[in-house]
Amino acid sequence: MIKIYHNKQCSKSCAALDFLQEHTVDLQVQEYLEEVPSKAELIEILSQLGLKPLALIRKNEALFLEKFQHLQLTDEEWVEVMLQNPILIERPIVIKDGKAVVGRPLERVIELFTPRSS
């Protein structure tokens, strides 16, 4: 099963979804602005990405610049900010076999399908 956290208004997210639809049949699409991940789900995504919460926030988003850019918050507080303001979550996020990538650029998504040599 491959899962994409998708924003249909984002060209990069749409490009990733198009790629996934061409290369897999077992695909779950979650439009995360309408169906916000749970706190546990977001924490799991961060773990799979190997990122701290602040690294998953869109820092050029107007909302971030207006309300959050000068704040010094804990990881848990940044998770709450993302849950309350999902537009701030970087996109798209693609998960395959327990590994997650932010699909910017699209090559990161493609790498999930490339076998690694040992």
Strands 2-6 and 27-31: what pairing? parallel
Active site amino acids: 10
Measured CA to CA, the distance from residue 113 to residue 77 in angstroms comes to 34
Cβ atoms of residues 64 and 58 within 8 Å: yes
H helix or E strand, kind and range, residue 16 = helix 11-23
